[in-house]
Homo-oligomer: A and B are copies of this chain.
Amino acid sequence: MRPISEEDLTTRARIRDAAMALFAEQGVKATTIRGIAEAAKVSPGLVQHHFGTKEALRQACDEYVLSYLREQVTVGVTDHNLDKPEFIENVHRTAPPLMKYLGRALVDGSPAAAAMFDELVSVTEEHLADDDRSEADHRARATVLTAMKLGITVLHEHVSRALGTDLYAPQGALRVGKAQLDLIRPEFLGRELFDQARTGLEKVEGQR
């Protein structure tokens, strides 16, 4: 429920956050160390001092996103905080830049993103196999379901433009969540998504 780590407001963290944002927007290759330095308001030399090479900086971003996701899953799912307002508020505030980075990393080709995709498929597959013991192609269903959900993250820019609302603003996330509920057969939706949409619905509806 607290920020990921104590040293999070250090210069090092500022550089990493700036790098994540630029990597997400432009991709790794198109992002320069100079650009990162400028965004973080430091000199290019300091970026190298802290992370050595651009590739090492990219890996640091990967690891940060992975540890963030694991932490949120632990706090949210394992500790049953998914419906706690503080948890939801914290996720809505901190998750967007990390999600954007993840979406880009899946296309730019980072080992960490690929591993996370595979992990998500496996978790989904077990879930499907438990619910339905038929001969169905659970592997393909889990893969497609994962790709479809992450597809929205990867294409967030286009989704936001078509919606006229930022996907990562409360209203946008709500509309997309509800649309997913409408489009996907209910038996294949994880409880997380269902709860997320329901809780978000109650929250936004209550605000007006």
* Chain A positions 186 through 200: 1 when the CB is less than 8 Å from some CB of chain B, otherwise 0: 001000000000000
Q: Contacting chain B: which of A50-58, A73-81, A152-160?
A: A152-160
A95 at interface by CB-CB < 8 Å = no
With A30-B29, A106-B155, A107-B107 known as contacts, the answer to whether A182 contacts B141 (CB < 8 A) is: yes
Residues of chain A from 161 to 183 with CB closer than 8 A to chain B in the complex: 161-163, 175-176, 178-180, 182-183
Taken together, the copies of this chain in the complex come to 2
Determine the chain B residues whose CB is within 8 A of the CB of A143 once the complex forms: 159, 162-163, 176, 179
Q: A152 touching B144 by the CB < 8 A rule?
A: yes
Q: A152 touching B147 by the CB < 8 A rule?
A: yes
On chain A, the number of residues with a Cβ less than 8 Å from chain B's Cβ atoms is 48
A46 at interface by CB-CB < 8 Å = no
Q: Chain A binding site: helix, strand, loop or mixed by DSSP?
A: helix
A140 at interface by CB-CB < 8 Å = yes
A binding-site residues for B, Cβ under 8 Å: 26-27, 29-30, 103-104, 106-109, 114, 117-118, 121, 136-137, 139-152, 154-155, 157-159, 161-163, 175-176, 178-180, 182-185, 188
Please list the 8 inter-chain residue pairs (A to B) with the smallest Cβ-Cβ separation, ordered nearest first.
A151-B151, A29-B30, A148-B148, A144-B179, A140-B179, A140-B175, A143-B162, A29-B29
